[in-house]
Amino acid sequence: MAQSRSDANRIFIAGAGIGGLTAALCLSRRSRPVTVIEQASELRPVGSGLQLPPNTMQVMRELGLEDALLPHVVAPRAIQVMTAHSEDPVAEIPLGATAEKRYGAPYLVIHRADLQAVLLQAARASAGITLRLGTRLRDAAQNADRIKLEFERAGDDADPQAPLDHDTGAALIGADGVWSTVRRRIMGLRGAAFSGRTAYRAVIPVSEVPQRWRNVTGLWLGPRAHIVHYPLAGGEQFNLVALVEEDWQEEVWSAQADRDALLSRFRDWPRGCRELLSLPSSWLKWALCSMDPGTSWVDGRFALLGDAAHAMLPFAAQGAAMAIEDADALARHLSEGMDDVPRALRAYEAERQDRAERVMRLSRANDRIYHMRRPLSLARDAVMRALPSERLLARLDWLYGWRPPGA
């Protein structure tokens, strides 16, 4: 057996993504020793934009990261909702100062890579966190007292003949994303399934984008597809995502997409929309996966968080947010309950599961509503036009108004 750094109270987190790094920081803040295992040997700036709604900013504030995030974020003034038939908004949901006043924290958007870099820098500066990049979790076992883990080196320069590495600790947290090894291989649960939806993404300089779109989140609804766009990177970049009903299946984040096929798919949409879509010279795509609610996230000393627990369609823009909320709750329960780790993990699950499943249901409902065809879409648009804009926001108070207990 290779060298072991065994520590009876050490918590192991698989995955240095958004949820894993946030969980490590929340645990370390409560003086718990943590090791984060990440298969990537380098956290490259992959991906595009994510929403950091008020419910996540409460956690970022507690971690003291708000100032570090500020140069990278944008606080859109509003969400403007258009349709495949007209670029005149059918609704405008106020964000900006209205959201900040209502929820006590701002509604922000950020590039995933910028958020991960801020979290990573804070984790590196934290004496209680050990980071092991280029290390893939392969397997794990547990008994009443501890967990035992098996790793392999991963990454371009990894030697396939190298012996496996082992370690022991108090708990294993699977924050290893939508294709989670902890979920599928170690806990034996059903993984995420392809949803028949594909997301096309591009990031371009904001200077190329008409002024009208630089300060808002745009949401275009149409038959079997919708489009989301917003500024990023402190207002320097612009994020475009087209989400289409297309049953392409591959477990990758960044496949090259066919730009012409994408543009042709939206050829009947309003001119302003088509002009935006034609700005990027190339597009990347990833296949959207989701899980069915109802499976347990905890087995003894093993627990799941983020996408590994509840991968959902990104149609409520809450994937990262739920991972961040999970991280806060996990750290609270674990730090108070190290004398009985399985009980602490069950308490974490009991606190989080209903809320995450409610957001999963919202994402599925949005899938139906956003992609309606006529005549149903006419009724949808009429309802949206009729509702006062603050009412549209108030319907999401249960979501954005969340905060950690005591915050």
Ligand X SMILES: Cc1cc2nc3c(=O)[nH]c(=O)nc-3n(C[C@H](O)[C@H](O)[C@H](O)COP(=O)(O)OP(=O)(O)OC[C@H]3O[C@@H](n4cnc5c(N)ncnc54)[C@H](O)[C@@H]3O)c2cc1C
Beta bridge partners of 94: 78
Return the residues of window 200-239 that contact ligand X according to CB under 6 A. Answer: 201
Q: Is 230 a catalytic residue?
A: yes
Residue nearest to ligand X (CB): 17
Structure tokens at 277: 């879509």
- Judged by CB under 6 A, the residue of 13, 18, 60, 192 near ligand X is 18
Catalytic residue among 103, 107, 200, 230: 230
280 contacts ligand X (rule: CB under 6 A):
no
Query: Which alpha helices (H) appear in 3-150, and where do they start and end?
Result: 18-29, 54-62, 66-69, 96-103, 112-124
CB of 179 to ligand X, least distance (A): 7
CB of 49 to ligand X, least distance (A): 7
16 contacts ligand X (rule: CB under 6 A):
yes
Give the total of residues touching ligand X (CB under 6 A). Answer: 31
Output 20 or 270, the one with its CB closest to ligand X. Answer: 20
14 contacts ligand X (rule: CB under 6 A):
yes
Q: Judge whether 16 and 120 are in contact, CB under 8 Å.
A: yes
369 contacts ligand X (rule: CB under 6 A):
no
CB of 309 to ligand X, least distance (A): 8
Closest alpha carbon to 17 in 146, 176, 159: 176
289 contacts ligand X (rule: CB under 6 A):
no
Q: How far is CA 168 from CA 67, 141, 145, 363, in A?
A: 36, 10, 10, 38
Return the residues of window 73-132 that contact ligand X according to CB under 6 A. Answer: 112
CB of 166 to ligand X, least distance (A): 14
Return the residues of window 137-196 that contact ligand X according to CB under 6 A. Answer: 137, 175-177, 181
Q: Judge whether 286 and 254 are in contact, CB under 8 Å.
A: yes
Compute the Cα dihedral for 94, 100, 104, 105 and give only its sign: positive
CB of 57 to ligand X, least distance (A): 15
SS3 sequence of 362-389: HHHHHHHHHCCCCCHHHHHHHHHHHCCH
Interface mask (CB under 6 A) for ligand X, residues 295-334, using x and -? -----------xxx-----x----xx--x-----------
Q: Is the peptide bond before 76 cis (omega within 30 degrees of 0)?
A: no
Beta bridge partners of 193: 290
CA angle 253, 304, 185 (to 5 degrees): 75
CB of 216 to ligand X, least distance (A): 19
Output 140 or 384, the one with its CB closest to ligand X. Answer: 140
Structure tokens at 307: 């996408």
Output 83 or 181, the one with its CB closest to ligand X. Answer: 181
Closest alpha carbon to 152 in 52, 7, 282, 37: 37
CA atoms of 255 and 202, how far apart (whole Å): 12
- Judged by CB under 6 A, the residue of 35, 39, 83, 237 near ligand X is 39
Give the three-class secondary structure for 136: strand
Output 172 or 344, the one with its CB closest to ligand X. Answer: 172
Structure tokens at 85: 């038939």
Output 91 or 330, the one with its CB closest to ligand X. Answer: 330
Residues annotated as catalytic (active site), given as ranges: 230
Residues forming contacts to ligand X in the complex (CB under 6 A) are 14-20, 37-40, 46-48, 50, 112, 136-137, 175-177, 181, 201, 253, 306-308, 314, 319-320, 323
